[in-house]
Amino acid sequence: MSSSLPLLRHYIDGEFVASAKRFANVSPVDGRMLGEVCEADGDTVNRAVAAARAAQAGAWGRTSAGERADALLRIAAGIERRFEEFVAAEVGDTGRSVKQARSLDIARGVQNFRTFAELVRQAGGEFYEMRAADGNDVFSYTVRKPHGVVAVISPWNLPLLLLTWKVAPALACGNSVVAKPSEETPASASLLAEVIHEAGLPAGAFNLVHGFGPDSAGEFLTRHPDVDAITFTGESRTGEAIMRVAAAGVREVSFELGGKNAAVVFADADFDKAVAGVLRSSFTNSGQVCLCSERVYVERPTFERFVAALKAGAEKLKIGYPDEDDVDMGPLISRAHRDKVLDYFALARAEGATVVTGGGVPRFGDARDDGAYVQPTIWTGLDDGARCVREEVFGPVCHVAPFDSEEEVVRRVNDSEYGLCAALWTRDLKRAHALSRRFRVGMVWVNTWFLRDLRTPFGGVGLSGIGREGGRHSLDFYSELTTVCVNP
C-alpha cells in the first residue's frame, strides 16, 4: 500500500496509536483506495479495555452527571466546528449524497450528543417513603451507576449517526467506551476520536479500535472478560454469535439487528403520498437502512395503479456521484455487498418473480463503473414463502403484493422471523391505531416513515434484536440501578 495515503489509527488511553497490520479503505463510488486503516490485534484490544477500566477507577469514574453532560456538549460543538470534514469522511466511505450526509448523518451526530446531555441532567431517581414495623419512617431511593466498560460495535450503513447514538448515552451514564466501527466506514469514527480528544475527556474514557469481526477486533472485544456490556447494530447472525459470547459472565447486551420490514397501503390512503413514502422507505440510502421496506402490501383495488406509479417513480430516481445536484441514490457499500444483492436479484428470477423495473447494474461509461452501484428494483409475483420475500436483501429492492382484508395483511406482515418496523398508509386512523397494536414489530409509522422523536424507545423483536434504546430507555441500558434503603 502507498505510504502517501492517509493512515487511520486506533485511539487508546488518550493517544493515537498505530499497529503493524493494515487494510485498505476503498471508495464504493469508483473503487479507488482512500487510505489505510490499522487493524487491531488482541494485544491492542487488551490495551484499550485496560485503559477503559483504569478510567473507571480514575478521573472519569469520579465525574458527576453535570460534568459528563458538559463534556457531551463540548463534543457536539466539536463536531459542528469540523462539520464539513465529517461530511467528507462519511461521503468518502459510503458514497451517499453530500445532501444526506449534511442534513441527516452529521446533523444527527451532533443532536445525539446534545439530546443525551440534556437527558442525563434531568434523569432523577425514584424516591419512596414507608412506615416500618418499628414505627420509623424509612426512605428508599435509587441511584444510577455505570456498568463500567461498554463495547460499542457500530455498522457501516449510517456510520456516525449510529455510532454516536450509542457512544453518547454510554458516556452520559459514566461508562468508559471501547468502540469498533465497521471496517467499511472507519473515517468518521476516527474524526470523532479527534473531537473527543479535543473535548478534554480523561484518558481512557473513550477508546477506538479498528478491524474486522471474527478473529479480529470485534471478536477480541466482545470476548474480553473485562467488558461489562455490549451494544451492537448489524446483521442478525452476528448478533447471535455475540450473544453466545456475552453469555460468559452474563453481560448486558443491546442489539439492533436486521429487518424484513413491511409497508401496508390501503385503498383509502392518500395515493400520491403513499407512493412517495414507499419510494423513500424502499430506496433511501440505496435500501441500506435496517428500517427500509422490502415487503409492500397494497389493497387489491389500487394494486395495479400503485405498482405502475411506483415503477415510474423508481425509474426517475437519479443515480450518481455524491456531489451531483438532486442525486437520489449512490452505490452500495462495497462490490462484495453488491454481489450479495445481485445474487438475490438472480434468485428472485429463479423463484418466479416479475421484475417490474431494475434488476441489474447501471452503466455510466466513467469511473463509477468500477464502483458498487445497482438499479432500484421492484418485484411482483412471489409467494410469501419465497426466500426473496423472507430474507433480508439490504439493497434498493421491494416486492409488492396485493391483499384483500385486514386480517390477511396482519397475518402476512407478522409472518416473518424479523420484527423491526412497519409503515401503514391509510386515512382511517381508527384502523391505524388498531392494526398498529397487532403488528409484531418494535415501531409502526402511520402515513410517514423514518420520523423519530429521539426520546422514544427504539428496537425490534425476533431476529430484529433485543432491548430498547432511545431517551430514558438508553439510560436504562447504559446504567445499573441501585436501591438505597435508609432506616434512620
- Block residue for cell numbers 428508599: 140
Q: Residue 34: which of 98, 83, 88, 109 has the closest Cα?
A: 88
Kindly state the cell numbers that stand for 151. 463495547
Q: Please give the Cα distance from 24 to 187 (Å, whole number).
A: 12
Q: Please give the Cα distance from 238 to 1 (Å, whole number).
A: 30
Q: Which of 183, 184, 256, 469 is catalytic?
A: 256
Q: Please give the Cα distance from 172 to 212 (Å, whole number).
A: 27
Q: Residue 45: which of 243, 235, 212 has the closest Cα?
A: 212
- Running DSSP on this structure, what letter comes out for residue 319? B
Q: Please give the Cα distance from 195 to 40 (Å, whole number).
A: 21
292 catalytic, yes or no? no
* Contact call for residues 103 and 284 (beta carbons, < 8 A): no
* Amino acid, single-letter form, for residue 18: A
- Stated as kind and residue range, the H or E segment containing 153 is strand 149-153
Tell me the C-alpha to C-alpha distance, in Å, between residue 130 and each of 35, 136, 140.
63, 8, 8
- Stated as kind and residue range, the H or E segment containing 438 is helix 429-438
Which residues have C-beta within 8 Å of that of residue 98, sequence separation ≥ 6?
87, 91, 322, 323
Displacement of CA 105 from its chain's centroid (Å): 11
- 10 Å CB burial of residue 379 (0-12, 13-18, 19+) is buried
Which residues have C-beta within 8 Å of that of residue 46, sequence separation ≥ 6?
220, 224
Tell me the C-alpha to C-alpha distance, in Å, between residue 263 and each of 166, 207, 292, 295, 383.
28, 39, 9, 6, 16
* Contact call for residues 218 and 180 (beta carbons, < 8 A): yes
Kindly state the cell numbers that stand for 205. 474514557
Q: Which of 38, 173, 290, 292 is catalytic?
A: 290
Q: Please give the Cα distance from 460 to 471 (Å, whole number).
A: 16
Ordered DSSP codes for 196-231: HHHTTPPTTSEEE----STTSHHHHHHH-TT--EEE
256 catalytic, yes or no? yes
* Contact call for residues 178 and 62 (beta carbons, < 8 A): no
* Amino acid, single-letter form, for residue 413: V
Which residues carry out catalysis? 256, 290
